[in-house]
Structure 1
Amino acid sequence: MSEQQLKQTVSALDLRRAQLENLSQQQELIRGSIDEHLRAKETLENYLKINKEDELLVPVGAGVFIKTRTGDQKEAMSGIGSGIVVEQDIQEIVKHLDEQLEQLRRSAQELAAQAEKISGAVEELTRSAQQQYEALQRGASADGS
């Protein structure tokens, strides 16, 4: 067992750990996106249930709210990509959010599977590096005896 082989194993281990960290960050972004989509869906569904004369507080940021009434509003504005916003039926928006949620959940599952595979590789490389190091140490102590 050579020192060069150990260095290669450690380099491969570092690469796999970096990949695992990258996947972890991607998973966190997807979790945040899922949470955002769920909040939007829940808000729209609850909005459809309220009486048309009920008063709402609409958050505009920094702890500031606007008082408004719902009226007979059954449509909302929805981003469709590239900075384009269109007016759509709320039920259609909820349906689209459900589709996006399903897509996000599939992506999360795929990332989890990749992370599990890479985690197994990290464990194997860690064991290999440890064995290589121990073999080098035994060889060095045998030479020094």
Structure 2
Amino acid sequence: MSEDERNLERIIAQLNTYEQQAQILQRRIDLINASLQEITLSSESLDELKNVGEDNEVLMPLGSGVYVRAKIIDKEKVIFSLGSDIAAEKDITGTQLSLDQRSMALQGALQSTGQQLQQIINTMNELNRTAQTIARKIRG
């Protein structure tokens, strides 16, 4: 096997590794975007809750498109997940501020992950050009 063939094999192995890393980063981006959408929906729901009278009936989502009819007993306080199975009672404004903070942190993570993905794509493009050059050289 010639030096060029060994280099081509090495580049192909690197491309496969970068492809796997790119897929992982893309999945991370998708998860971050889903979390951002959930935060937006939660914040919008909190805005609507401000306009609902107590003892009014609402549809409460249970997940997977399943809802139950429920009555609002106390619209001034909501239960807010702090993470790690810990939750606290907060007022709507405080909850929305916490959601905004989470959103900003996620947007930062999204930007950082997007930059990492772009760097990998640039490197892959470079390696592809090099591989094509070597392949042409091998073919003669």
Equivalent of 2:125, from 115, 123, 126? 123
| Helix, strand or coil at the partner of 2:75 | coil
- The answer to whether residue 68 in structure 2 is matched with residue 65 in structure 1 is yes
| Helix, strand or coil at the partner of 1:2 | helix
| Helix, strand or coil at the partner of 1:135 | helix
CA distance in 2, matches of 1:23, 1:64: 33
Cα 1:65–1:110 shift into 2, 3 Å? same
**Once the 2 structures are TM-superposed, how far is the Cα of residue 12 of structure 1 from its aligned partner?**
1.1
CA distance in 1, matches of 2:10, 2:62: 54
Percent identity at matched positions? 24
Instruction: Return the index of the structure with the highest Cα Rg.
Output: 1
What does residue 23 of structure 2 align with? 21
- How many residues align? The count is 137
Moved over 4 A (4+): none
| Helix, strand or coil at the partner of 2:68 | strand
CA distance in 2, matches of 1:63, 1:83: 23
CA distance in 1, matches of 2:30, 2:55: 39
| Helix, strand or coil at the partner of 2:79 | strand
| Helix, strand or coil at the partner of 2:53 | coil
- The answer to whether residue 93 in structure 2 is matched with residue 91 in structure 1 is yes
Contact 1:60-1:66 at 8 Å conserved across structures:
no
**Which structure 1 residue ranges, 5 or more long, are not aligned?**
139-145
CA distance in 2, matches of 1:49, 1:63: 23
| Helix, strand or coil at the partner of 1:76 | strand
What does the per-residue CA deviation read over 1:75-109, in whole Å, with 9 as the maximum and x for residues that have no partner?
A: 01111122112211111111000000011111111
What does residue 41 of structure 1 align with? 43
What does residue 143 of structure 1 align with? none
Amino acid at match of 1:63: V
**Once the 2 structures are TM-superposed, how far is the Cα of residue 28 of structure 1 from its aligned partner?**
0.5
| Helix, strand or coil at the partner of 1:52 | coil
Normalising by structure 2, we get a TM-score of 0.89
What does residue 137 of structure 1 align with? 139
CA distance in 2, matches of 1:28, 1:64: 26
CA distance in 2, matches of 1:20, 1:104: 19
